[in-house]
């Protein structure tokens, strides 16, 4: 059997994965065609895009990450292919020589070797050969931001921080791998190594480097089998989207042309990974040896849950929900305690968090020992769940409602986080709005679902941002009222970006942005707001409302059923991801289908803002001394 790069990454997640796949050693002689390989890699590439979209999603919207719909993947595939194409072009520009990449030819360069009866195989995204060297480039539809933000200083705490990568042209290199670089003038070796160590987390920031290192293992395996093969030195690169790139709006025949921006940034950035991919080999060899054992002696018994499960990511193991994690309650598990990244402090002084709780038998929220519960909000969660009660701080909610200025503009954007920028002034994965719904509440409770609703929906996938801004400002007065949203930081972020890209509307847009108010400040909390309203002590620290039905989440999909009978279940478009897909597929629809999908998009977005109207009214009634009519 041929083990591809994706196979290798999945099969080395844990011992149980291989057993659940029912791999048999007698299958190991099977071969695999180029098309079969590409079909296998294709889904991994698509999931990579969705995973990056998730990283940048500011909506706070909950998505079932285990249900990846093929249509969603299909909609994003052209953008991944464009990233590969642009990476190939940059490699030609930077290195010269002969370059082979997916859009140019189907004859992608492949490497393979056999060891202990297992055939390992990989194709190279971009292969470049010059007179002096061979360059292997792995293309990833993520951005450079996560790598550029790795910084260290001379001191353990405090002191000026410097990035651990140095950018030279459009190539980033670890400073510790640059001969003669004065590293210790910027940071201590200890701090540098500590930051660099993060790159070895294959389930975190290091996952794409791990991917490249698996390729290196296969390439070097072939060269060991064939010592008379390539004699030139081989260099290894990651090609990712440059987070600082700004598109200048150039098009040819309706297609974006990604010229260097005014600061000289290319759309693609290259990260030279020679040293770290070599260091990775000791881990890759250990994984390969484990894989051989897993195949030889399959063992389907339970294994501890952990980062390899990929819980709450698009890279979730396909066996997690149906098998390994099937016993974890969907509501009010021990993972439902809010803002609990640091977990709980045990009696012996150690901390326990995340899936460690599940592994040690703390399955339900109430299974966590009461003496571990020290935070006020966690105490409220536990009490409400245990006693089936509802917690309400009426005074805080009433004060916040009184603080609202009318009219209230209930606003919600639907956005397209496209890997490559589509319009002038945009950058990779910008949340580019294509729709908004606005409900205008002129006085407390005075808002009609249809008459007081304004919807903008892009008619095409072309640039209609200015028309959207004009409609917003027609109905929203920047000098009065309240911009109201659930997770208002998202709406404020989009308005700020539009103000930057359309300076002629800058002043009113920024004034509107300053009037932002978050529905969650009423339901959950905002320390600074409540301090300004005269609250102090524990009142400032705790949430305002909790019901066990929330399950530790204040997403609109969780808060809505608590305060309203509205439901998304019967809608054609049910969540933000589906909205993106319908919009991205405009050009693939018949005229009749397009009309139906646009109406579905309007209904979905309208529901998001009407939901806020209903929740706010329910909160008024909750804290009123007499029922609100």
Convert the pLDDT of each residue in 556-599 to its tens digit. Answer: 878 999 999 998 889 999 988 889 999 999 999 999 999 999 99
Boundary residue ending a domain (245, 266, 291) = 291
Q: Do residues 366 and 398 both lie within one domain?
A: no
Convert the pLDDT of each residue in 83-112 to its tens digit. Answer: 999 999 999 999 999 999 866 545 688 899
Q: Do residues 342 and 217 both lie within one domain?
A: no
Q: Do residues 278 and 338 both lie within one domain?
A: no
CB 209 within 8 A of CB 199: yes
Using alpha carbons, list the distances in angstroms from residue 370 to 356, 390, 454. 17, 19, 49
Confirm whether 218 is domain-assigned. yes
Confirm whether 378 is domain-assigned. no
Boundary residue ending a domain (239, 268, 291) = 291
Q: Do residues 368 and 422 both lie within one domain?
A: no
* C-alpha span between 126 and 94 (Å, rounded): 13
Q: Do residues 177 and 257 both lie within one domain?
A: yes
CB 558 within 8 A of CB 549: yes
Peptide linkage before 407 cis (omega within 30 of 0):
yes
**CA torsion through residues 388, 389, 390, 391, sign:** negative
Q: Do residues 400 and 284 both lie within one domain?
A: no
Q: For the chain, how many structural domains are there in total?
A: 3
Confirm whether 130 is domain-assigned. yes
CB atoms within 10 A of CB 10: 20
* Phi, psi of 458, deg, nearest 5: -60, 135
The arithmetic mean of pLDDT across residues 496-520, rounded, is 97
Q: Do residues 342 and 456 both lie within one domain?
A: no
CB 619 within 8 A of CB 563: yes
Average pLDDT, the chain: 90
Range of the domain at 489: 394-621
CB 419 within 8 A of CB 428: yes
Q: State residue 555's pLDDT score.
A: 85
Structural tokens at position 378: 């966690």
Q: Do residues 143 and 265 both lie within one domain?
A: yes
Looking up residue 597, the CATH number of its domain turns out to be 3.30.420
Q: Any idea which residue has 């439901």 for tokens?
A: 567
**CA torsion through residues 32, 37, 39, 43, sign:** positive
* C-alpha span between 424 and 446 (Å, rounded): 39
Convert the pLDDT of each residue in 330-361 to its tens digit. Answer: 899 999 999 998 999 999 999 999 999 999 99
Using DSSP bridges, classify how beta strands 344-345 and 351-352 pair: parallel, antiparallel or unpaired.
Answer: antiparallel
Confirm whether 66 is domain-assigned. no
Confirm whether 552 is domain-assigned. yes
By C-alpha distance, which of 491, 434, 419 is closest to 464?
A: 434
Confirm whether 336 is domain-assigned. yes
Q: State residue 68's pLDDT score.
A: 39
pTM: 0.90
Q: Do residues 360 and 402 both lie within one domain?
A: no
Confirm whether 150 is domain-assigned. yes
| Spatial CB neighbours of 407, under 8 Å, sequence gap ≥ 6 | 440, 441, 442, 443, 477, 480, 481, 482
Boundary residue ending a domain (240, 269, 291) = 291
Confirm whether 62 is domain-assigned. no
pLDDT at residue 382 is higher than 50: yes
* C-alpha span between 520 and 491 (Å, rounded): 14
CA 546 vs. chain centroid, Å, equals: 27
Q: Do residues 366 and 438 both lie within one domain?
A: no
User: Which is more confident, 312 or 15?
Assistant: 15
Q: Do residues 516 and 367 both lie within one domain?
A: no
Q: Do residues 479 and 399 both lie within one domain?
A: yes
Convert the pLDDT of each residue in 446-473 to its tens digit. Answer: 999 999 999 999 999 999 999 999 999 9
């Amino acid at each position: 059997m041929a083990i591809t790069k994706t196979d290798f990454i999945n099969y080395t997640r844990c011992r149980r994965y291989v057993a659940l796949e029912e791999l048999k050693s007698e299958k190991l002689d099977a071969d695999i065609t180029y098309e079969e390989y590409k079909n296998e890699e294709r889904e991994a590439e698509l999931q990579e895009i969705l995973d990056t979209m998730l990283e940048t999603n500011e909506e706070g919207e909950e998505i079932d990450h285990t249900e990846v719909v093929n249509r969603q993947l299909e909609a994003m595939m052209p953008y991944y292919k464009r990233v590969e194409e642009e990476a190939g072009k940059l490699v030609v520009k930077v290195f010269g020589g002969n370059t082979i990449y997916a859009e140019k030819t189907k004859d992608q360069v492949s490497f393979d070797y056999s060891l202990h009866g297992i055939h390992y195989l990989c194709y190279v995204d971009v292969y470049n050969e010059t007179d002096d060297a061979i360059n292997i480039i792995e293309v990833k539809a993520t951005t450079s931001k996560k790598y550029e933000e790795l910084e260290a200083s001379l001191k353990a705490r405090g002191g000026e921080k410097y990035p651990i990568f140095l950018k030279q042209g459009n190539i980033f290199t670890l400073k510790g791998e640059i001969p003669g670089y004065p590293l210790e003038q910027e940071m201590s070796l200890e701090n540098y190594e500590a930051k660099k160590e993060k790159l070895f987390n294959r389930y975190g920031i290091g996952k794409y480097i791990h991917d490249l290192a698996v390729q290196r293992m296969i390439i070097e395996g072939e060269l060991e089998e064939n010592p008379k093969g390539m004699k030139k030195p081989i260099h290894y690169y990651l090609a990712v989207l440059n987070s600082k790139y700004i598109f200048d709006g150039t098009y040819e025949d309706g297609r974006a042309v990604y010229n260097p921006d005014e600061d000289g940034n290319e759309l693609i950035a290259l990260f030279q990974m020679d040293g770290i991919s070599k260091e990775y080999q000791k881990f890759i060899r250990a994984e390969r040896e484990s894989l051989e054992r897993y195949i030889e002696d399959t063992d389907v018994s339970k294994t501890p849950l952990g980062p390899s499960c990929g819980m709450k990511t698009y890279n979730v193991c396909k066996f997690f929900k149906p098998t390994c994690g099937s016993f974890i309650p969907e509501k009010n598990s021990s993972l439902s305690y809010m803002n609990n990244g640091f977990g709980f402090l045990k009696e012996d002084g150690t901390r326990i968090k995340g899936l460690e709780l599940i592994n040690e038998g703390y399955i339900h929220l109430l299974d966590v020992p009461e003496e571990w519960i020290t935070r006020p909000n966690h105490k409220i969660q536990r009490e409400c769940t245990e006693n089936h009660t509802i917690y309400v701080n009426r005074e805080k909610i009433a004060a916040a409602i009184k603080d609202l200025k009318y009219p209230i503009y209930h606003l919600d954007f639907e956005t397209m986080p496209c890997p490559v920028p589509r319009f002038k002034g945009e950058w990779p994965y910008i949340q580019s709005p294509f729709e908004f719904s606005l409900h205008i509440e002129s006085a407390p409770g005075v808002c009609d679902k249809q008459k007081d609703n304004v919807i903008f929906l892009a008619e095409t996938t072309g640039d209609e941002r200015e028309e959207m801004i004009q409609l917003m400002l027609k109905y929203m007065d920047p000098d009065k009222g309240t911009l109201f949203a659930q997770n208002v930081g998202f709406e404020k972020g989009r308005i700020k970006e539009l103000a930057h890209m359309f300076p002629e509307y800058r002043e009113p847009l920024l004034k509107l942005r300053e009037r932002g108010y978050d529905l969650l400040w009423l339901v959950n909390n905002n320390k600074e707001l409540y301090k300004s309203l005269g609250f102090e002590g524990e009142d400032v620290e705790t949430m305002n409302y909790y019901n066990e039905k929330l399950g530790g989440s204040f997403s609109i999909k969780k808060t809505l059923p608590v305060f309203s009978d509205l439901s998304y279940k019967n809608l054609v478009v049910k969540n933000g991801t589906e909205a993106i897909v319908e919009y991205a597929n405009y050009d693939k629809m018949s005229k009749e289908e397009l009309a139906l999908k646009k109406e579905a998009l309007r209904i979905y977005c309208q529901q998001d803002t009407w939901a806020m109207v209903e929740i706010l009214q329910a909160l008024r009634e909750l804290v009123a001394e007499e029922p609100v009519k």
